[in-house]
Amino acid sequence: MEDNDLIIVATFDFDWQAHMAQGILAEQEIPSTLDNEIFGSLYPIGFNSIGGINLRVFRRDADRAKEIIRQSKL
């Protein structure tokens, strides 16, 4: 496992939640990326069946990112 690997730290049902979490992490200078974001916009009904929108960060930032997201209560 490498520190530069991207790993999932949270999964969201709605794009607005994922974008808020991404913004909160950006304020803390933690880079992140979203998976499935466009698919969720195109197919909002039944989207949760494929797993939601995944928020990924570098492994080295994962613990800090998880704590920040937990505290934000998204």
> What's the one-letter identity of residue 28?
Q
Q: Evaluate whether 54 touches 36 at the Cβ level (below 8 Å).
A: yes
Domains in the chain: boundaries: 6-72
Per-residue pLDDT reduced to its tens digit, 29-64: 999 999 876 554 555 554 454 578 999 999 999 999
Distances in Å between the Cα of 14 and the Cα atoms of 2, 4, 28 are 30, 27, 22
Question: CATH classification of 6-72 is 1.10.10, yes or no?
Answer: no
Per-residue pLDDT reduced to its tens digit, 17-30: 999 999 999 999 99
What is the model's pTM? 0.81
Chain-centroid distance of CA 60 in Å reads 15
Chain-centroid distance of CA 52 in Å reads 10
Q: 């969720």: which residue's tokens? A: 40
